[in-house]
Amino acid sequence: MSAYVIRRLLSVVPITIGVMLITFFVFRVVGGNPAYRIAGKNATPARIAQISHERGYDKPLFLNFRQFPTQLLDAQFPQLCSNLLRLDFGRSFVTKQRVSTMLREGVGPSLCVTTPLFFIELFLGVGLALLAAYYRNTWIDRSLVLLSVMGMSISSLVYIMLAQYWLASVWRLFPVWGFESPRYLILPVLVGVIAGVGGELRFYRTVMLDEMYQDYVRTARAKGVSSRGILFHHVLRNALIPILTNVIIAIPFLYTGALLLENFFGIPGLGRLTVMALFNFDDDVVFATTFIGSIMFVLFNALTDIAYTWADPRIRLK
């Protein structure tokens, strides 16, 4: 097990390099010289050349063969790798702040929204799925399925507009914009739960019902085990593999923030920061959030494989 964990963690290194290459290719090669986007439509060639020189966009992409071999690594990608190893994500062209500082300031508000949203959706999804599985093929099960499908079919924007109009503007139960106290988080979290719990319920209900028709359930029922005992002591434990996969893979997205909720409710988190950076062509900010989110996804994907052995002792990782 220890050897597998070490190998699995070491495998993250080449994947990380691959993520860096793909992200660099998208932002610097496919998108062209970022200096054109930063300078704007009416910029002069001199201004574009100045920005390119200041931010290193005029250097070769991967290797500097023009000054071989003394400055072979004086190129954009090696410099990017060096900066990332020092956790230096550059400086925002719009705010002139260091991107690392902007990320530290934005992660707190994002986690204040996504963390309660994550746990409430998890407990509601699993709890309602257990209820639907316990009363399967009854009016309770069918009603939960109907509500989940209706919830999934409606866009999150509809929930946001309805909540802002009725709960905030008309009834004045919650503030509609800002991040001044915990009260400002209630409405966006409520909207996020209503918009997302339908998909969670459908997923966990399918997992529970798949286990309910396994042979071990039929054997336990033949031995006289109650339906409640089968559901909570057998089915739930054996359904942990897909539950763990869904839960652990969702953890990196807590960091990246909730794009719609943060933008429509004025929460200064990483989601709003990313959207504003996209509108302003602030490439360094977009690259930093994209890269960190990708690396966290890779790391937690490895953690998911390791967690399987805890959920099911029959699994032996080699």
Peptide bond into 69 cis (omega under 30): yes
Provide the token pair at 139: 């009016």
Residues 120 and 69 in one domain: no
Residues 299 and 187 in one domain: yes
Residues 261 and 126 in one domain: yes
Residues 129 and 205 sit within 8 Å (Cβ to Cβ): yes
pLDDT confidence of residue 9: 77
Q: For 296-306, what is the mean pLDDT?
A: 84
Residues 251 and 304 in one domain: yes
pLDDT digits (tens, 9 = 90+) for 81-114: 888 888 888 888 888 889 999 999 999 999 999 9
In a domain, 93, yes or no: no
Residues 260 and 192 sit within 8 Å (Cβ to Cβ): no
Residues 32 and 69 in one domain: yes
HEC assignment per residue over the chain: CHHHHHHHHHCHHHHHHHHHHHHHHHHHHHCCCHHHHHHCCCCCHHHHHHHHHHHCCCCCCCCCHHHCCCCCCCCHHHHHHHHHHCCCCCECCCCCCEHHHHHHHHHHHHHHHHHHHHHHHHHHHHHHHHHHHHCCCCHHHHHHHHHHHHHHHCCHHHHHHHHHHHHHHHCCCCCCCCCCCCHHHHHHHHHHHHHHHHHHHHHHHHHHHHHHCCHHHHHHHHCCCCHHHHHHHHHHHHCHHHHHHHHHHHCHHHHHCCHHHHHHHCCCCHHHHHHHHHHCCCHHHHHHHHHHHHHHHHHHHHHHHHHHHHHCCCCCCC
pLDDT digits (tens, 9 = 90+) for 128-163: 998 888 888 899 999 999 999 998 888 888 999 999
* pLDDT at position 2 over 90: no
Residues 150 and 260 in one domain: yes
Distance CA 10, CA 150 (A): 44
Residues 33 and 165 in one domain: no
pLDDT digits (tens, 9 = 90+) for 62-88: 777 776 766 767 788 888 888 888 888
Mark which of 38, 57, 85 sits at the end of a domain. 85
In a domain, 92, yes or no: no
In a domain, 229, yes or no: yes
pLDDT confidence of residue 314: 66
pLDDT digits (tens, 9 = 90+) for 219-268: 888 888 888 888 888 888 888 888 888 888 888 888 877 888 888 998 99
Mark which of 23, 53, 85 sits at the end of a domain. 85
pLDDT digits (tens, 9 = 90+) for 207-218: 888 888 888 888
pLDDT confidence of residue 318: 53
Q: For 286-301, what is the mean pLDDT?
A: 85
Residues 165 and 191 sit within 8 Å (Cβ to Cβ): no
pLDDT confidence of residue 118: 93
Residues 40 and 181 in one domain: no
* pLDDT at position 126 over 80: yes
pLDDT digits (tens, 9 = 90+) for 17-28: 888 888 888 777
Torsion of CA 203, 204, 208, 210, to 10 degrees: 20
**pLDDT tier, 316 (very low <50, low <70, confident <90, very high otherwise):** low
Residues 236 and 151 in one domain: yes
CATH number of the domain that residue 184 is part of: 1.10.3720.10
- Range of the structural domain that residue 64 is part of: 2-85
Residues 30 and 61 sit within 8 Å (Cβ to Cβ): no
- Give me the percent of the chain exceeding a pLDDT of 70: 95
pLDDT confidence of residue 292: 87
On average, the pLDDT of the chain sits at 84
Residues 148 and 191 in one domain: yes
Residues 67 and 194 in one domain: no
The tally of domains found in the chain comes to 2
